[in-house]
Structure formats: structure tokens, C-alpha cells
Amino acid sequence: MIANNTITPSTKLIVALSAMSDADADPVPQFVALIDALRPADAGDHARVNARFSTLCEIIEANEGLRLALRARLLALFTGRRQVSFYSDSGILPNTGFFSELWHRIVQRVLPAITDTTYLRDCANVIFHRLDDHEWLGATTNELKMRFWQALGMSEMRDEQALLECFSQMLDASDHLATRIGAMGLEPELVRLYPRIEERDSPFLALAVETHQLAASYRGYLAGGESPVEDEQQLLVLVEQCNEVIVRVRGRAATVGTSLRVTYLLRRLVQSLQRLESLTRILSTRHEVAQTSADEMPLVERWVEFLGDAIEGEARGRGIRSHIGRTIGLLALRITDNASRTGEHYITSTRAEYFEMWRSAMGAGFIVAFMAILKIYTSSLTLPPLGYAFAYSLNYASLFMLMHVLHLTLATKQPAMTASAIAGAISEIRGRMKDVEKLATVVTDVIRTQIAAILGNVFIAMPVAVLLAMAIARATGKPFMDTEKAHHVLHAISPFDSMALFFAAIAGVCLFLAGLISGYYDNLAAYERIRERIENIGWLKRVLGEARLVRLAAYLHDNLGALAGNFFFGIMLGTMGTIGFMTGLPLDVAHVTISSAYFGLALVSLDFSVDPATVGKSLAGIALIGFVNLSVSFTLALMVALRARGVAFSQTSALISILFGRLRANWKQFVWPESRLDSSVSP
């Protein structure tokens, strides 16, 4: 007996195909065995996938008996089964909504759904039963798929009735899709974003009417009548008009905000339109001139495209991560778009903007010195753990929000915003080499601005903290911190003696999350029309007066995201240490500007009697903490922004080469803005 692990993939395929000679058996288990033989152990092994598919094609091309058995069993799989739901629903989001569908998928992991193999859609789910089947199916080349269907020789089939039944059920599916599209096109959420749908004839309703007329004409043709009077061209024009409306709705959503419901609805609407178009193109080949056989183009090509979308979509549709990732990714695009527009204010290109950044960063450093004083003072109080968390959070959140109100800049808040702006620039250039120079200019501006902001923060926070500590010591007659506390502060800053860099990475994650929160609330303010709602609060209008209320509403509409981001960032910084203490986990935060203020406070408390090695380690710690803060938050924000836009940047090496070239030729442009004339000729 041959050991199972010595059987080659080719042998497994032949065994599975040979089993199909049993014409009386249920075809579903037979196709389960065939797909199991075809499926690679690693769904991501694309080379192996295509090699096995190529082997399958070679076998049925060379062996007439196996080819005929496979074709007969394929026909048996379709015959007598309800096919409408397979054509109209496979791979398309249901109408249950995002959270209902998410819960449904979670429950299915625990309690698998009961399948009814009288439905073709359920048969497909039984045959492609692995959650990662969509990966290797999507990796199979279209050339191999075309070769497989052409090798089957479907034109040799003599069962015209079975073919007519398939076309008839496709027509029923088209009717279902058109009715669904018409209803979704009039959803109140869609109309609110694009009111013009109601002002003129809706293309979604016109599409439904046209589809029903075309389906009726086709049914007459399939029953033996003449070629349909209606053709598919008008329907395809209406599909294009519907897609144009969706593009406008998405553009409008980028301005006035969106929601998870709208994002989900648009995804489902696009999927339904694509499926209706695919079915229409398949049906049209039935009466197209010069299409005389079932395995000629374009029928096979259209059939392969449809099956790929349906089966891959259905296989992907059972996954929880894919459902969350694809829907949240589209919503994240709206959020990161808002962050991108905010991030543009954190990028300076002129000297006036550059000096304004220095001013705002120095102002923020001044406030951070007071923030550090309050944090150290609060830590000396006797409070329960949650009391410390509340006090720290109140300190951080209120002063971060004050910085925004005063138009001051905390350097570490920039990366999460500027990363979205850079992702937007990458999305626009689409990797074109000629535009990488423009991207390099944006990156250069970001680096220069970030250096100005962080130096402005640190250069003011540290000396102001020193002056405040000296003033407090003079007023109270004792150091602001005792010696033990001062040494502890210096130890916590050292990257060699503590977990400062790990805590800096945690702070970087918090900065990234704060950026997402800012974008989310900016989106929410636009979508929920915060300005109009506040302006209609009667009692507030009586208290403030109409003019003040209008100004307040406009300010909150424009700044809600930034205020919320700063508030929650303060909460995260203030509670992280307490969470670590209560859970026993190594959780805390290290922030570059606050750490520089702590360093100044510790120096005064130790009367500047600190050995040079400790000073050196502390300064190195501040620099490295800043680097980790910035790099972690920037990397995470850039990854999310690029993924939300579906952009893969392939010119990284070219961009780095350009940046290093600029650094060698003129390093000053990374720390000092050039004049317009200079910048125009810079390398």
C-alpha cells in the first residue's frame, strides 16, 4: 500500500477525476474531492496553485474519458438545482447591515450553517469549504481558467434544455438584482448625500425598468421567438450612469462625512451593479452574431469572470477579518481623508510658515513645562489608582486642548496627520517615476517642519521647566522634587537603564490612535451636521445670542476632530501607567517633550549635581524617545492611509535615492526653508 504522503498532486487529480465516472453518484462530493486535490497546502503559494491547475488542464486535454466524465458531472451539478441565488447573491453583501452580518459570521464559526444542496449556492460553499479558498482561487491566472473551460469542450453538449434552464434562471436573477438596485438607490441615507436623485429620474429605477423589459424579451427568445427586440446596450448605459452617481455620492461623503451604514450600502450597491452587468453580458452572447459555440469567446471569458467573482466572493464572504477589513477600510479612507486635510496645515513650504511653526511649537513647549509640573505634583498626592488616572488625564487632556485653542503645535501630533497627507500624494502619483520628485519635495517639507516643531518644543519646555522649578524652590524653601524622585525621573528617561523606548513606542501608538480619532470626529461633525444642530439649540441661542452661537457652531464644526483627538490622547497618556499598575503589565508612556521637561525639573532638584554620564544618557534618551514617538505613529498612520486608499507604493528605493541625493547636495533644505528661486533649482 502506498503511503498517502507519497501520492503526487497529479495522481490525486487523476483519482478524483476517475471517481466522476460514477454517473449515479451525487456530484457534490465528487467535486469536493477534486477541489481538495487541487487546493495547495499553503493558499498563498501562487506558483503551486497555477502548476496544479495547469496539470488539471493537461489531464483533461489528454484523456477523453476523464474530460467527458468531468463535463457530465459538471452539468449534473447544475441540473435540477435552484441557481437563482447563486447568480444574484454569491459574493454580494446581504442586506442585514455591517454588525448583523459580523455577528452572523461569528455565530457560523461556532455553529456552522445547515446547507441545502438543492441550492447551487450552498453546493458551492460545500465544495469550496476552506476559509482561505478565495486566496488561491484569486491567484489562479485567467489564462488557465480559460484553458480549463475551453478544454471541457462545452460546445459538444447536446442537452439544450439544461442550457436553457441556466439562462432562464439567470434572467430571474437579473430581475432580482434590478429590483434590489432600484430599492437601494432610493435609500434615505443615499438621498441625503445626493438629493439630485429625487430631483430627476433616478437611474437606479430606470435600470430596474429596463432590466425587466429586457428579461421579458429574452424569455420570449429562449422560448423559440425571434432575437430580442431589446438589446443590452441601453441597460449597460444605465449601469454606467448608476456608477457615476455612486462616484458623486462618495465624493460628497468625503466632504460632508459618511457612516458605516452608508459605506456598507455603497459597497453592496456596487457589487450588485457589477453582478447585473456580468449576467447581462453572458446573456447577450446567446443572440450575438458570430457566437456559434459555447466555448468560443466571449461567452467563456464572461463566464470565467462571473464564476471568479461569485465563487471567490462567496469563499471570502465567510471570513470575519475580511468582512471587517474591507468595510472598515472604506470608512478609514473617509477618516484619513479628513486627517490628510488637517495634516496639510502641519507641512510648511515657505519661510513664513516655517517661522510660524517655530512660534507655535515654542508656545506648546511652554505649556508642556507646566504640564510636567502638575504631573509631578499630582504624583506626590495620596490618591487611589483610579484617582491618579483621573488627575493625570485631566491634566494632559485639558492642556492639550488648550494648545489647540491657542493654535500651538505639539510636535508628536504631526506624524499621524502628515502621514495621511503623504499617502494622498502617493495615491495621486500612482507610482509614476516623473512625479516621485514632487513626492520627495513633500517629504522634505515634512522632515523640515517636524525638526522645527520638535526643537521648538524641547528648547522651550526644558528651560521653562528649569525656571519654574527654581521659582518653586525659592518660594517654598525646598526642592520641587526630593532626591529619590529626581533620580527616578532620570533613570526613567535613560534608554539603557529602563524601558523608556518601549514606553515611547506605546506613546507612538497612542499618537496614531489620536490621529484616527481626530479624523473620525471631523467626519462625524460633517456627517451629523454639527454646525446646523448647534445653531438650532434654542436655549443656547437665548444665552449667547445668535451671532456668538453662529461663531461657536462654526468653531466646533471646524475643530471638533482636533479637540477630540487631543482629549482622548490626554486620556490615553494619563491612564496607561495606571492600567499597567493594576494589571501588572509593563505599560506606561514616554513622550519626548514631557521627558525633556522632566529632565529640567530633575536637574534643578539635584542642584545640577549630575554626573556627565547621566546627563549624556538622559539627552540620548530624549532624542531616542522622540525618534520612536515619531517613527511609530508615522509608520502606523501611513500604513492605514495607504491601505485605505488601496495604494501600493513601488518607488520606495527611488524616493530614498532622491532624498539622499538632496541631502548630499544641500543638507540645509532639510532644516531651513529655501527661497523660491533656490528651491526651483535644488536637486
Task: Report whether pLDDT(678) > 60.
Answer: no
Residue 380 belongs to some domain of the structure:
yes
Grouping H, G, I as helix, E, B as strand and the rest as coil, residue 185 is: coil
Q: Look at residue 225 in the predicted model and tell me its pLDDT.
A: 64
- Asked if 523 and 257 count as a contact pair (C-beta separation under 8 A), the reply is yes
- Asked if 148 and 67 count as a contact pair (C-beta separation under 8 A), the reply is no
How many Cβ atoms sit within 10 Å of the Cβ of residue 216? 14
Give residue-wise pLDDT tens across range 226-266. Answer: 666 567 788 889 999 999 988 888 878 767 777 777 877 88
Task: Report whether pLDDT(319) > 70.
Answer: no
Residue 464 belongs to some domain of the structure:
yes
- Asked if 435 and 411 count as a contact pair (C-beta separation under 8 A), the reply is no
User: 458 is in which domain, residue-wise?
Assistant: 349-527+560-681
Model confidence, pTM: 0.69
Residue 507 belongs to some domain of the structure:
yes
Residue 287 belongs to some domain of the structure:
no
Cα–Cα distance, 659 to 667 (Å, whole number): 10
**Residue scoring higher pLDDT (114 or 543):** 543
Q: Look at residue 298 in the predicted model and tell me its pLDDT.
A: 62
Residue 473 belongs to some domain of the structure:
yes
Q: Look at residue 648 in the predicted model and tell me its pLDDT.
A: 58
| β-sheet bridge partners, residue 119 | 82
Task: Report whether pLDDT(218) > 80.
Answer: yes
- Which of 211-220, 324-333, 406-415, 580-589: highest mean pLDDT? 580-589
Q: Look at residue 178 in the predicted model and tell me its pLDDT.
A: 93
Record the cell numbers describing residue 167, joined without a space: 439562462
Per the omega criterion (within 30 degrees of 0), is the bond before 384 cis? no
Across the range 636-644, mean pLDDT stands at 72
Across the range 71-82, mean pLDDT stands at 86
**Residue scoring higher pLDDT (559 or 160):** 559
Residue 183 belongs to some domain of the structure:
no
pLDDT band at residue 504, thresholds of 50, 70 and 90?
A: very high
Give residue-wise pLDDT tens across range 589-613. Answer: 999 999 999 999 999 999 998 899 9
Total length of the chain = 683
Residue 217 belongs to some domain of the structure:
no
**Weakest mean pLDDT among 4-13, 14-23, 377-386, 522-531:** 4-13
Q: Look at residue 302 in the predicted model and tell me its pLDDT.
A: 79
Pick left, alpha or beta for residue 428 (phi over 0 → left; psi -120 to 50 → alpha; otherwise beta): alpha
pLDDT band at residue 388, thresholds of 50, 70 and 90?
A: very high
- Which of 411-425, 481-495, 632-646: highest mean pLDDT? 481-495
Give residue-wise pLDDT tens across range 88-99. Answer: 988 888 887 667
Q: Look at residue 354 in the predicted model and tell me its pLDDT.
A: 86
Per-residue CA distances from 400 to 421, 457, 518, 564, 591 (Å): 22, 13, 13, 10, 13
Q: Look at residue 424 in the predicted model and tell me its pLDDT.
A: 63
**Residue scoring higher pLDDT (464 or 322):** 464
pLDDT band at residue 325, thresholds of 50, 70 and 90?
A: low
Q: Look at residue 676 in the predicted model and tell me its pLDDT.
A: 45
Residues 6+ apart with CB under 8 A from 609: none
Q: Look at residue 295 in the predicted model and tell me its pLDDT.
A: 43
Tell me the average pLDDT of the chain: 82
The percent of the chain in helix, strand and coil, each rounded to the nearest 5, is 80, 0, 20
pLDDT band at residue 372, thresholds of 50, 70 and 90?
A: very high
**Residue scoring higher pLDDT (387 or 197):** 387
Q: Count how many domains the chain has.
A: 1
**Weakest mean pLDDT among 136-145, 390-399, 668-677:** 668-677
Task: Report whether pLDDT(682) > 60.
Answer: no
- Which of 201-210, 277-286, 300-309: highest mean pLDDT? 201-210
Give residue-wise pLDDT tens across range 452-479. Answer: 888 999 999 999 999 999 999 999 988 8
Residue 94 belongs to some domain of the structure:
no
Q: At 464, which CATH number? A: 1.20.1080
Across the range 310-326, mean pLDDT stands at 69
Record the cell numbers describing residue 463, joined without a space: 528651560
- Asked if 564 and 518 count as a contact pair (C-beta separation under 8 A), the reply is yes
Q: Look at residue 291 in the predicted model and tell me its pLDDT.
A: 42
Cα–Cα distance, 657 to 559 (Å, whole number): 38
